[in-house]
Chains A and B, each alone.
Chain A
């Protein structure tokens, strides 16, 4: 049923995005780049005009105001050039433009435009995130190459720290959206039985923040970098060159992306569920998304506050992070970690959502303890706000506060354990199919065991004091983030490729990718625990000679890991662009609603609003109802609200 937009601002036009009817030239990423470049030049000029004569600018030759204004106007130009600001400008004249999409447009140009189709946005995010991930991965190889030898150097110490900072920031900053972007935006409307998201423009704008943030962050490399690392501790971050401005501005842009994306996601899941999609039937990915969205909404503004404070200290000479004038560097640590520690769970929860979604498909069993898993996710999200001070155990904080935060941090292992045990329960006595997605999901459990258990250790004050700032901690968080999240994402790419692209990725190549990645990952990061216990500190480019063999082992393993990921890139692109091995419909026999619509997915996701009849995980139950009725009878005047009982 085609939904028409009414002549006056109905707002209820949302059955389906209306295909763009305009022909000819349309704004796109390239016009955005041009406008963004011009905007940067204008902002930089303005900054020089305003602050060129300031004493601190003349004295240091560094005009942070010009750089930051350049970034601000550059971003505004980027958005103008993409056409994102057309809508808010039209609104000022009281015009309510219909939802225009380019979903019917053939070819690839729609992926370079501001478009309102959730599936196009999901694919934009997928390739964007992979691109950012591999950039950061290459930087990681640069780090490991330097550490081949304790004394012979490839980079200078400053360059080394720049690379470490870029790697860490890009990974921790960009990867917050690695699940919500490609999977949340694409899948959630399909999974909840909706033809659209609540705020398609917000959803699309959230993506277009990310290329701007990526370019600005990367630009730090040729502006002297930022040696404060991804944590940006003051006062070092205040004393740095203009590369630090790129750090703070790009991180803030990503913050805005997370907030806009989260507003859309929460509104969509709450209001756009199809009839019968009760909360107790909500797919685990959707639970992962809504818990993460709420966590982001309540933590990211604090990060933006912190970055803003840092920016003011650097540009207009406030002294909030500088004790000499009434500030405190620990203010930054608190603001940063109030976001930074929930962020770890922003990364983990969607990974668990993917894992819980995919495990039952290959175990052919219902998800064991659905409610327990949901409780675990909500529990992790809530508790994540009460742990941030464990990053400050050695900062000189009141020692009496340390047991409290030790306890809260240890408590979070309980809901995490819920999720973990639900996964294991699902596998118990299952007749598993060991396809590539399942292998990745099993690896998530293996890897997370190391990351999770060491997490309990490092939250204990005595252990924390011993291993703080060492490679032990680095191994811990790489196991929890890369070992859990990235493995889950890789498995999800293999799993959802038939739905996204109509292509079933080659099993043999997939298994080569999986096994090399799994072995090389563990070979890279497991020895880091030992290196940490042997006393190797983070962020140093020279180390004790006795640690060379272990470091060489790790570096060679990281090269294998890099090759494995390169193998994935080549085979993935090759199969998508050249061979396109056609996938049967629903090749994994999933019950998920998203798989019931066929391929290619209709432009509005569903021809009619589906009526949900049962949960998505009732595998192996011969009496289970089909998950949904996709062709309910013709519309009547009966009103049914989102998620209403059926």
Chain B
């Protein structure tokens, strides 16, 4: 990390900014976790605030919830997507790019389906948006959840597209998962950032599922 070389400090500029860039991706992906946590934190606060107030007994007077079956499917899809990414990342690090690409496509498909199901549920609700506190919170949470899932899938899609586009450039030195080319290192940094974020979001999805469909 540091280098004490007295008066004659010199810096390999290209390497320096490359390392800085990798660090920036690391910082930004973790920052993103903080931002998304706060975003959902506000909604979770609203959930508990209205639930604890239970104004005029209207938190959830008839016990009507959004479809637990679909809610569970969404949560499982996100969870499965995160697990697949974790598994195929190991294959990528072993230089088996094609396995990663296939696995990432499957994870992408599951994520997109989860987002799509979330939107679909919102069109099939068995309560009116203003019928209760729970109804309001559900209608508020659904689009945010779908948006975060779909934006995450956008991130994954860019990684898949990049791995495909760089196939030839990195083929000679073992593929994008092991290559020492700056572009490959940059790709892996972004993939690491995505994996940490998506794993975190999968855990967050369990919490949200419990609050919205079970509790």
Judge whether A259 is part of the interface by a CB distance below 8 angstroms.
yes
Judge whether A96 is part of the interface by a CB distance below 8 angstroms.
yes
B133 touches A327 (CB 8 A): yes
Q: How far is the CA of A91 from the CA of B156 in the complex (A)?
A: 11
Interface mask (B139-178 → A, CB under 8 Å = 1, otherwise 0): 1100010000000001001101111111001100000000
Report chain A residues within 8 Å CB of B181: 6, 8, 10
| Given A12-B14, A93-B161, A639-B12, CB of A644 within 8 Å of CB of B2 | yes
Nearest CB of chain A from residue B26's CB, rounded to whole Å:
8
Judge whether B211 is part of the interface by a CB distance below 8 angstroms.
no
B28 touches A198 (CB 8 A): yes
Q: How far is the CA of A589 from the CA of B73 in the complex (A)?
A: 66
Contact of B50 among A95, A312, A327, A611 (CB under 8 A): A327
B10 touches A320 (CB 8 A): no
B9 touches A259 (CB 8 A): no
Contact of B31 among A93, A95, A194, A297 (CB under 8 A): A297
Most chain B CB inside 10 Å of its own CB: which residue of A1, A306, A334, A609: A609
Report chain A residues within 8 Å CB of B183: 6, 8-11, 96
A12 touches B49 (CB 8 A): no
Report chain A residues within 8 Å CB of B28: 198-199, 263, 267
Report chain A residues within 8 Å CB of B24: 198-199, 267-268, 270-272
Q: How far is the CA of A83 from the CA of B23 in the complex (A)?
A: 27
Interface mask (A252-267 → B, CB under 8 Å = 1, otherwise 0): 0000000100110011
A275 touches B49 (CB 8 A): no
Stretch at the interface among B37-45, B86-94, B111-119, B194-202: B37-45
Judge whether A597 is part of the interface by a CB distance below 8 angstroms.
no
Judge whether A641 is part of the interface by a CB distance below 8 angstroms.
yes
A640 touches B130 (CB 8 A): no
Nearest CB of chain A from residue B207's CB, rounded to whole Å:
16
Judge whether A633 is part of the interface by a CB distance below 8 angstroms.
yes
Report chain A residues within 8 Å CB of B164: 94
Q: How far is the CA of A9 from the CA of B163 in the complex (A)?
A: 10
Which residues, 36 to 77 on B, are CB-close (under 8 Å) to A?
36, 38-39, 41-43, 45-46, 49-50, 53-56, 58-61
B129 touches A318 (CB 8 A): yes
| Given A92-B157, A334-B45, A641-B1, CB of A634 within 8 Å of CB of B186 | no
Q: How far is the CA of A327 from the CA of B49 in the complex (A)?
A: 9
Report chain B residues within 8 Å CB of A636: 10, 12
- CB-based nearest B residue for A642: B20
Nearest CB of chain B from residue A325's CB, rounded to whole Å:
5
Report chain A residues within 8 Å CB of B45: 302, 334-335
Report chain A residues within 8 Å CB of B56: 323-324, 326
| Given A95-B165, A639-B3, CB of A298 within 8 Å of CB of B12 | no
Report chain B residues within 8 Å CB of A259: 35
Judge whether A97 is part of the interface by a CB distance below 8 angstroms.
no
A640 touches B46 (CB 8 A): no
Report chain B residues within 8 Å CB of A96: 162, 183
Nearest CB of chain B from residue A629's CB, rounded to whole Å:
8
A10 touches B139 (CB 8 A): no
Nearest CB of chain A from residue B13's CB, rounded to whole Å:
5
B46 touches A609 (CB 8 A): no
Report chain A residues within 8 Å CB of B42: 301-302, 304-306, 335, 338
- CB-based nearest A residue for B139: A318
B161 touches A641 (CB 8 A): no
Nearest CB of chain A from residue B182's CB, rounded to whole Å:
4
Interface mask (A306-318 → B, CB under 8 Å = 1, otherwise 0): 1011001100111
| Given A327-B50, A645-B4, CB of A6 within 8 Å of CB of B20 | no
Judge whether A14 is part of the interface by a CB distance below 8 angstroms.
yes
Report chain A residues within 8 Å CB of B46: 305, 309, 320, 331, 335
Judge whether A219 is part of the interface by a CB distance below 8 angstroms.
no
Q: How far is the CA of A325 from the CA of B43 in the complex (A)?
A: 18
Nearest CB of chain A from residue B69's CB, rounded to whole Å:
23
Report chain B residues within 8 Å CB of A634: 10
B38 touches A297 (CB 8 A): yes
| Given A275-B3, A317-B129, CB of A325 within 8 Å of CB of B140 | no
Nearest CB of chain B from residue A334's CB, rounded to whole Å:
7
B154 touches A633 (CB 8 A): no
Report chain A residues within 8 Å CB of B54: 326
Q: How far is the CA of A112 from the CA of B70 in the complex (A)?
A: 48
Nearest CB of chain A from residue B165's CB, rounded to whole Å:
3
B129 touches A608 (CB 8 A): no
B17 touches A326 (CB 8 A): no
- CB-based nearest A residue for B55: A323
Judge whether B128 is part of the interface by a CB distance below 8 angstroms.
yes
Report chain A residues within 8 Å CB of B22: 11
| Given A268-B24, A298-B34, A632-B10, CB of A639 within 8 Å of CB of B139 | no
- CB-based nearest A residue for B27: A267
Judge whether A430 is part of the interface by a CB distance below 8 angstroms.
no
B55 touches A312 (CB 8 A): no
Contact of A638 among B11, B18, B23, B53 (CB under 8 A): B11
- CB-based nearest A residue for B4: A645
Given A11-B189, A316-B139, A609-B11, 15 other A-B residues pairs in contact with their CB atoms under 8 A: A6-B181, A88-B154, A94-B165, A268-B24, A302-B39, A305-B39, A308-B140, A318-B139, A326-B132, A331-B50, A640-B3, A640-B9, A640-B11, A640-B16, A645-B2
Selected A-B contacts with CB under 8 Å, 17 pairs: A11-B22, A91-B158, A266-B27, A270-B27, A271-B23, A275-B3, A301-B38, A324-B56, A325-B133, A326-B61, A327-B50, A327-B55, A633-B8, A638-B11, A639-B12, A639-B15, A644-B2
Question: Which A residues are within 8 Å of any B CB, using their own CB?
Answer: 1, 3, 6-15, 88, 91-96, 194-196, 198-199, 259, 262-263, 266-268, 270-272, 275-276, 297-299, 301-302, 304-306, 308-309, 312-313, 316-320, 322-328, 330-331, 334-335, 338, 608-609, 611, 629, 632-642, 644-646
10 shortest interchain CB distances as A-B pairs:
A12-B18, A11-B186, A305-B42, A94-B161, A326-B58, A326-B133, A94-B165, A271-B23, A318-B136, A198-B24
Question: Which B residues are within 8 Å of any A CB, using their own CB?
Answer: 1-5, 8-25, 27-28, 31-32, 34-36, 38-39, 41-43, 45-46, 49-50, 53-56, 58-61, 128-137, 139-140, 144, 154, 157-158, 160-166, 169-170, 181-183, 185-187, 189-190
